[in-house]
Amino acid sequence: MKRIYLCDDTPEGIFTAVYDGWAAKLPDEQISLYVERGHEFELFADYTYVQTDQEKAKKVVRTVSRQLGRNVYDMIFSAALSYEKDKVNSIYRFLKLGFRVGSTVEQMHGEEVVCRIFELKRSVWNEAHYMKEFLRFHETEEGILLARINPKNGVLPLIAEHFSDRFPEEHFVVLDEVHEMGLFHEKGKQWYLIPLDLEVLNDIWNHKVDSPYEKLWKTFFKTISIKERENYKCQRTNCAIRYRDYMLEFH
């Protein structure tokens, strides 16, 4: 009977499932790994629910980094942030191949699973790049910078370093409503992530206040627009509609 491992949709949960799946020593055709949220159940399968274990996850990270190299670890970490349903299975099979052939696995573009990991990584990093450009900060009465995003992928860990480098002397918070996660940065300190349910996330978001600079930016955006040269198709290509929910200039 096929065994299916279900895990939390976090890098730690995914790496724990990889650890447990490897330890089971089952043939590839008898094992699959998925995140629990949104999985469509299969008949005649033995389900195992994986409890996230930080120590197991750290062992996977250390082993991959030591034996396959930092580049391979960065690839699977990025893939773990993807919203695609097959990401855990792909990471598991990619690592099985990697431990057979060594660090050259990242160059084996003829292998389907290697190409899939590259696709997942590219998709995640592309969205992270867009979020760095399209994220808009508001301000609270206490002077804390506050932003909200709704990405497909879990890009907060990838954009955290960018904004902490740009605003090292600022308190700021970035809220991810899709993955119910908050990025918190305290002035002069390291950033960290905290899971938030939607009610708490909305409560934090409601602390933002209107700023004269926001009105100034919206006025500037409208003033420089040339009506005769407006091209909505081109605009949607460069700034997709799904990014605009919390962009000031579109409201």
Give me the residues of the chain with pLDDT under 70, please: none
Average pLDDT over the chain, rounded to an integer: 90
* DSSP 8-state assignment for residue 224: S
